[in-house]
C-alpha cells in the first residue's frame, strides 16, 4: 500500500486544505485513491473541509514494474514521454483506468476533490489536454470545464 506521509507531506496537506477552503468552497466530496498516503492526505484535508470521503480503487497509482523505486531522474524521459514500464501496467490501460475513475468521481459529485498520485496526474494531463509536467507533492489545483469539452486548469497559490 506504500509508505505513510512524513511531516512535510502532512504540512503540505494542511496548506492545501486551506487553499481549497478559501478558493473552492463548493467541494462537497473527497474522492481518493485507496493507497495509504492519499488516504492520509484526504483525512488531513477533511479536517478542514468536513465532507464525505469516497475511495475509488481505479485512482490507485500506476503500476510501474521495473521503474518502481527508481529515482525520477532515471525514468523521467520515459515516464513523461511515451515509455512503457517493463513488467508494469501498460500506459494505455492506466490512462483508461484513470479516465474511468474521473468519470466516476464526476458522477458522484459536481465538485469533487480528487486526492491521488503523480502518475494519476500524468494520465489526467494527457486525457484532458493539460501541459505535461511533473506536479510537486501537495500542490492544490482546480480543474473545470464550462462546456464538457475544453478543460481549464488553475494552480491555487499558497498563503
pLDDT 10s digits, 1-53: 567 888 888 888 888 777 777 766 688 899 999 999 999 999 998 998 899 99
Average pLDDT over residues 115-129: 89
Average pLDDT over residues 134-139: 75
- 506536479: which residue's cell? 135
Alpha-carbon gap, residue 24 to 154, rounded angstroms: 12
Q: Is residue 157 very low, low, confident or very high in pLDDT (cuts 50, 70, 90)?
A: low
pLDDT 10s digits, 51-100: 999 999 999 999 999 998 889 899 989 988 889 999 999 999 999 999 99
Domains annotated for the chain, with CATH where assigned, are 7-155 (3.40.50.1240)
Mean pLDDT computed over every residue of the chain: 85
Longest dimension (CA), the chain: 43
Q: Output the nine-digit C-alpha cell for 89.
A: 501496467
- 7-23 vs 36-49: helix axis angle to the nearest 10? 40
Q: Which residues pair with 142 in a beta bridge?
A: 154
Q: Is residue 159 very low, low, confident or very high in pLDDT (cuts 50, 70, 90)?
A: very low
Amino acid at each position: 500500500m506504500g509508505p505513510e506521509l512524513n511531516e512535510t507531506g502532512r504540512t503540505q496537506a494542511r496548506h492545501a486544505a486551506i487553499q481549497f477552503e478559501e478558493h473552492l468552497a463548493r467541494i462537497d466530496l473527497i474522492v481518493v485513491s485507496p493507497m495509504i498516503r492519499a488516504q492520509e492526505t484526504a483525512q488531513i484535508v477533511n479536517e478542514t473541509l468536513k465532507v464525505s470521503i469516497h475511495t475509488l480503487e481505479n485512482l490507485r497509482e500506476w503500476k510501474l514494474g521495473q521503474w518502481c523505486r527508481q529515482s525520477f531522474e532515471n525514468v523521467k524521459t520515459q515516464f513523461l514521454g511515451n515509455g512503457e514500464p517493463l513488467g508494469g501496467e501498460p500506459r494505455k490501460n492506466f490512462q483508461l483506468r484513470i479516465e474511468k475513475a474521473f468519470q466516476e468521481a464526476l458522477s458522484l459529485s459536481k465538485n469533487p476533490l480528487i486526492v491521488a498520485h503523480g502518475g494519476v496526474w500524468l494520465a489526467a494531463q494527457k486525457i484532458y489536454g493539460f501541459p505535461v509536467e511533473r506536479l510537486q507533492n501537495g500542490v492544490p489545483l482546480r480543474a473545470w470545464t464550462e462546456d464538457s469539452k475544453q478543460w481549464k486548469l488553475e494552480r491555487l497559490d499558497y498563503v
